[in-house]
Amino acid sequence: MSDIDEGAAQKNPASSKPAWVAGLKKYEKPSWRKATWQLINTLIPYFGLLVLMYLTMKWRLPYAVTLLLAIPASALLVRIFIFFHDCTHGSFVANQAARDMIGRILGLLVFTPYADWRHAHGVHHSTSGNLDRRGVGDVWTMTAEEYSASSPLRRLGYRLFRNPFVMFGIGPIYTFVIGHRFPPRGSNRKQLTSVLLVDVVLAVILVTAALTIGLRTYLLIQMPIMFIGGAGGVWLFYVQHQFDPSYWARTEDWGSMEAALQGASYYKLPPLLQWISGNIGLHHIHHLRPRIPNYNLQQCLNETPELQLRDPLLLGRSLRSVHLKLWDEKQKLLLTFRQMARQLRRSTAV
Distances from the Cα of 317 to the Cα of 8, 301, 324, angstroms: 31, 21, 12
| CA dist., res. 93 & res. 262, Å (int) | 29
Overall pTM surpassing 0.75 (yes/no): yes
pLDDT band for position 349 (50/70/90)? low
| CA dist., res. 143 & res. 147, Å (int) | 6
Do 66 and 220 form a contact (C-beta atoms < 8 A)?
yes
- 286's CB contacts (< 8 A; 6+ apart) are 264, 280, 292, 297
DSSP 267: E
- The pLDDT assigned to 7 comes to 43
DSSP lists the bridge partners of residue 313 as: 267
Which residue type, as a one-letter code, is found at position 20? Answer: W
State how many domains the chain has: 1
| CA dist., res. 312 & res. 326, Å (int) | 22
DSSP lists the bridge partners of residue 266 as: 282
| CA dist., res. 345 & res. 343, Å (int) | 5
pLDDT band for position 15 (50/70/90)? very low
Percentage of the chain modeled with pLDDT above 90: 91
* Structural domain boundaries enclosing 148: 3-23+30-349
Do 284 and 247 form a contact (C-beta atoms < 8 A)?
no
* Packing angle, helices 114-127 and 96-109, rounded to 10: 100
Query: Helix/strand/coil (H, E, C) string of 196-223?
Result: HHHHHHHHHHHHHHHHCCCHHHHHHHHH
Q: What angle do CA 307, 313, 314 make, to 5 degrees?
A: 125
| Radius of gyration, CA atoms only, the chain | 21
pLDDT band for position 8 (50/70/90)? very low
| CA dist., res. 105 & res. 92, Å (int) | 14
Per-residue pLDDT tens for 78-102? Answer: 999 999 999 999 999 999 999 999 9
Per-residue pLDDT tens for 198-253? Answer: 999 999 999 999 999 999 999 999 999 999 999 999 999 999 999 999 999 999 99
Whether the predicted pLDDT of 14 surpasses 90: no
pLDDT band for position 4 (50/70/90)? very low
Whether the predicted pLDDT of 12 surpasses 90: no
- The pLDDT assigned to 269 comes to 97
Whether the predicted pLDDT of 11 surpasses 70: no
Instruction: For 146, list phi and psi in degrees, rounded to 5.
Output: -60, -40
| CA dist., res. 292 & res. 102, Å (int) | 17
Q: Is beta strand 333-335 parallel, antiparallel or unpaired with respect to 326-328?
A: antiparallel
